[in-house]
Amino acid sequence: MSIESRIAELELVLPTASDPQGSYCNCVRTGNLLYVSGKGPVAGLDDVPKGKLGREYTTEQGYEFAKVTGLDILAAVKLELGSLDRVARVVKLQGFVNATETFEQHPKVLDGCSDLMAEVFGDKGVHARSVFGAQSLRGNLPIIIDSIFEVYS
């Protein structure tokens, strides 16, 4: 089954990939690795979330923001490669969570994106990752995730 078919089976819709918010590009490919610049929960949303986990948003809402961000990441990968079937493996996710000083559920928030990658790609969607709490993020977004994919030539 193709990855596109799997996404449809999961009743997911890829948004139009969000544009970079500065002097950089969405993706850089070197050898068989594709680096995707930091993405937030903005693509396809009419009301972009702004604020901190632990104050404006719950862990559960953060999980959904991470999932939406994952869809934007996949949209950027598809735009760069032409097809998600060219993904050999999700290598790493790195999340930055805009959170209060006392918020401790950063890993549960990033699980929204991690779970999505595993649902879409199966075993090759299981990846290494790191997650950090941040005092602030661009645009006051609640989460930003960057990623690395191994791709077929």
Q: Where are the domains of the chain?
A: 3-151
State yes or no: pLDDT of 1 exceeds 90: no
| CA 115 vs CA 14, 50, 56, 78, 140: distances in Å | 16, 23, 23, 19, 24
Give 3-151's CATH code, choosing from 3.40.1410.10, 3.10.20.30, 3.40.190.10, 3.30.1330.40.
3.30.1330.40
Q: What is the mean pLDDT of the chain?
A: 97
Task: Provide the pLDDT for residue 153.
Answer: 84
Residue 121 has pLDDT above 90, yes or no: yes
Q: How far apart are CA 125 and CA 123, in angstroms?
A: 5
**For residues 71 and 73, what is the distance between their CA atoms, to the nearest angstrom?**
5
Which residue matches tokens 């990658």?
A: 117
pTM of whole model > 0.85?
yes
* Average pLDDT score over residue span 129-134: 97
6-15 burial, b for 16+ CB within 10 Å, e for fewer?
Answer: bbeeeeeebe
> Tens digits of per-residue pLDDT, 58-107?
999 999 999 999 999 999 999 999 999 999 999 999 999 999 999 999 99
Q: What confidence category does residue 14 fall into, taking pLDDT thresholds of 50, 70 and 90?
A: very high
